[in-house]
Structure formats: structure tokens, C-alpha cells
Amino acid sequence: MIRSIIRGYGAALPKRVMTNQDIEAIVETTDEWIVQRTGIKQRYIAGEGETTSSLGELAARAALENAGIQPDEIDLIIVATSTPDNTFPATAVNIQNRLGITSGFAFDVQAVCSGFVYAMATADLYIRGGMARRVLVIGAETFSRILDWTDRTTCVLFGDGAGAVVLEAGEGEGKTSDRGILTSNLRSDGSHKDKLYVDGGPSTTGTVGHLRMEGREVFKHAVGMITDVIEAAFEATGTTADDLDWLVPHQANRRIIDGSAKKLGIPNEKVVITVDQHGNTSAASIPLALAAAASDGRIKKGDLVMLEAMGGGFTWGAVLLRW
Ligand SMILES: CC(C)(COP(=O)(O)OP(=O)(O)OC[C@H]1O[C@@H](n2cnc3c(N)ncnc32)[C@H](O)[C@@H]1OP(=O)(O)O)[C@@H](O)C(=O)NCCC(=O)NCCS
């Protein structure tokens, strides 16, 4: 059977670092409060000329180089983002153009913080369906541009960045020892849409709007939703938490990550954490964390890796893969 195997990975961050101390000068908050409630110590903020597509392009180029393939060998680009350069065209075609690719096809996926998990599941279906052999899956965001920088309950939490992987069709035997994506589980429940949203848009206000969140409500649902899809992934593959080499969670909040891992019986040493350095970069957080843990040698060929995310909508999901 066909499996979608990660052949390369890459990451890109804006030049400017904003520490918690820098934020203390903007809103009434403290480094201590932010670290204690979220684990975040700093985040990267896009400057002039840095956009979702420019960061996405850099991450994509790094992933292509890591995979050892040329841009024109890609036949599908999927970009997970909630902060596109423009309402349309898709940021994916913008990045396609930046990479000099004029073949194949490209589109965006919008599932907020779950975007990368949704995009990986989508790419896997295109590969297994035979419509694409090599897919660039990119998570890229500039959330700093939709933050209300006077609202301390949200502006301290998010950051900008991009990460990418090259997925390639390979042969598998239909076993969990196969390399590649083994299962994907996606969920959404729009009855929670007002708990984490942007208060503007083309069809309502005609403006871009700002991010609004009922933080406590999001927190309340997060651990249960995350552990639910992870358990579904274990069940679908007959694997358990003991088989897992790495949990690579969406990096929203250290307390949510720790709570989920604890509930599943996954020890801290197996959890990749970047939220302290990057903040919550929404759809970019998982590929940024993957790139960090693969480039420093933690994630190795053959490792069993669980990706999970939960975000606005609510949307949530998990992808289990063998590296
Ligand atoms: C946002 C979050 C960190 C807030 O932590 P919390 O413990 O729930 O805090 P609360 O919202 O109950 O606020 C507690 C107090 O801190 C204050 N506060 C809020 N933001 C603050 C900040 N940046 N600095 C200092 N104090 C702050 C509140 O005003 C409140 O004060 P009060 O008790 O005088 O009213 C937490 O709810 C959370 O992590 N939620 C999930 C958010 C998330 O991950 N979203 C993305 C999902 S993809």
C-alpha cells in the first residue's frame, strides 16, 4: 500500500525576538505571570517585509533542501494558515510562485491551530489517492498582525513563524512498522466558534479584525479533546502510549501539553516543547517543533511520532506517523 513518508523538514522564524520583558512595556503583565500560566518566555514577531508567504517560502526552501529535491518536483502545496497575505489568492499559490513552480496545484487549509494536522491528513489522502506524489505541507502564520496589542489576555500568547515538511509517496505493507502516516483523526464542533475567533472578515465587517478568546473556556475543553483524538489514533492502529517515541503537540500552552501527556501516561522526556521559545504560532507550531527535534537528532528514522492540535472552531485532530 502507499504511505506518505516525511522526506524533509524545514523551519523559519522572523528576525525579531520579543521577550516577556519586552511585553511588560506594552501591557500590564509580568514575566512571572506569563511563564507560570503558559510556559512562554519569548516569541518571534514579523517585521517589515516579513509575511506569512515570505516565512512559508523560507521554511519550504529549507524542507526542499533537507529532502534533497528541487521545487519543480513538488506536485501539490498545502498551506495551513489563518493569517494569509491576502483574502485571496491562497497563500499557497503565493508561495508556489515564490518557489518558481508553475506546475501542479496549491491551496490553503483553514483550521486555525489544528491547521497543520488537517493539512497533513489532506496531503495523505491526495498521495494515497494517487493525485500527488510529492507534497509540500506548510504551516505559516503572522498572528502578531491580528492581535489586539492592548489586550493582555491574548497578546502575550502568540507569535509568528513557519514550518514545512515534504511528504512523498512510498511503499508500505499496511503494518504499524511502515514508515509514513499511519492514521489521521480529525474533529470539529462549531458550537464553540465564539470562544476563539477573529472579530472581522471580508463578508461581515469588511475588515481583518482582531483575535478574541475566552481563555478559560478554551482551557477547559483542550485536554479532553486532545486526549480523545490521540486515543482514537492508538485504537485505529493497535498501538499504545508505550509504543510512542515522541509526542509533538501543538504549542499553545505548557499546562495544556503537560495535562494531556499526563492523562495519556506519556512521560515528559518524550514530549517536544518549543512553546517557551516560540509562543503559540498556531498552524506553524507543530512543523516548527518537528524541525527542532529532528534537526537536533531527537527524532530519528523509524520513531513513532504523534502530532496533535486543538484550536479555534473548535477544531482538533491527531496524526500518528513513523518517521
Ligand atoms: C489564557 C490563560 C493563560 C489565562 O490563564 P487563567 O489562569 O485561565 O487566567 P484567567 O483568565 O482566569 O485570569 C486570571 C487573572 O489574570 C489576569 N490576567 C489575564 N491576562 C493577564 C496577563 N497577561 N498578565 C497578568 N494578568 C493577566 C486576569 O485579568 C485575571 O485577573 P482577575 O482575577 O483580577 O480577574 C489560560 O486560560 C489559557 O491558557 N487558556 C487557553 C488558551 C489557549 O491556549 N488558546 C489557544 C488555543 S489554540
Mean pLDDT, rounded, for 28-55: 98
Predicted pLDDT at 30: 98
Predicted pLDDT at 128: 98
113 touches ligand 1 (CB under 6 Å): yes
**Which tens digits make up the pLDDT trace of 121-174?**
999 999 999 999 999 999 999 999 999 999 999 999 999 999 999 999 999 999
Predicted pLDDT at 4: 98
Q: How confident is the model at residue 32 (pLDDT cuts 50, 70, 90)?
A: very high
CA distances from 268 to 102, 246, 262, 271, 297 (A): 44, 10, 8, 5, 17
Mean pLDDT, rounded, for 25-53: 98
41 touches ligand 1 (CB under 6 Å): no
Q: What angle do CA 144, 314, 181 make, to 5 degrees?
A: 90
Predicted pLDDT at 286: 98
**What span, in angstroms and rounded, lies between the C-alpha atoms of 276 and 29?**
17
User: Residue whose CA is closest, atom 3 of ligand 1?
Assistant: 37
Is the Cβ–Cβ distance between 167 and 120 less than 8 Å?
yes
Predicted pLDDT at 38: 98
Predicted pLDDT at 243: 98
107 touches ligand 1 (CB under 6 Å): no
User: Residue whose CA is closest, atom 44 of ligand 1?
Assistant: 252
Which long-range contacts link 256-261 to residues 24+ away (Cβ below 8 Å)? 256/219, 256/222, 256/223, 256/226, 256/310, 257/39, 259/222, 259/223, 260/222, 260/223, 260/226, 260/227, 260/230, 260/308
Predicted pLDDT at 16: 98
What average pLDDT is seen over the chain? 98
Mean pLDDT, rounded, for 294-323: 98
What dihedral do alpha carbons 122, 161, 251, 219 form, nearest 10°? Answer: -90
Query: Is residue 192 helix, strand or coil?
Result: helix
Distance 252 CA to ligand 1 centre (A): 13
252 touches ligand 1 (CB under 6 Å): yes
Give the whole-number percent of the chain exceeding pLDDT 70. Answer: 100
- Mutation probe of ligand 1 site: the residue of 153, 193, 211 with most atoms within 8 A of C-beta: 153
**What span, in angstroms and rounded, lies between the C-alpha atoms of 108 and 316?**
17
37 touches ligand 1 (CB under 6 Å): yes
Which DSSP category does 72 fall into?
A: G
Q: Which atom of ligand 1 is nearest to the CA of 29?
A: 24
Predicted pLDDT at 205: 98
Q: How confident is the model at residue 291 (pLDDT cuts 50, 70, 90)?
A: very high
Predicted pLDDT at 140: 99
Q: How confident is the model at residue 53 (pLDDT cuts 50, 70, 90)?
A: very high
Predicted pLDDT at 81: 98
Q: Which of 130, 112, 320 is nearest to 230 (CA)?
A: 320
12 beta partners: 162
Q: Which atom of ligand 1 is nearest to the CA of 23?
A: 23
Phi, psi of 49 (to 5 degrees): 85, -10
Positions annotated as catalytic residues are 113, 250, 280
User: Residue whose CA is closest, atom 42 of ligand 1?
Assistant: 215
Mean pLDDT, rounded, for 24-35: 98
Is the Cβ–Cβ distance between 78 and 119 less than 8 Å?
yes
Predicted pLDDT at 57: 98
Residue whose C-alpha cell is 510562485: 97
38 touches ligand 1 (CB under 6 Å): yes
**Which tens digits make up the pLDDT trace of 77-130?**
999 999 999 999 999 999 999 999 999 999 999 999 999 999 999 999 999 999
Predicted pLDDT at 80: 99
Phi, psi of 260 (to 5 degrees): -65, -45
Predicted pLDDT at 150: 98
pTM of the model: 0.98
Predicted pLDDT at 272: 98
All structural domains of the chain, each given as residue ranges with its CATH number in brackets, are 2-171 (3.40.47.10), 180-322 (3.40.47.10)
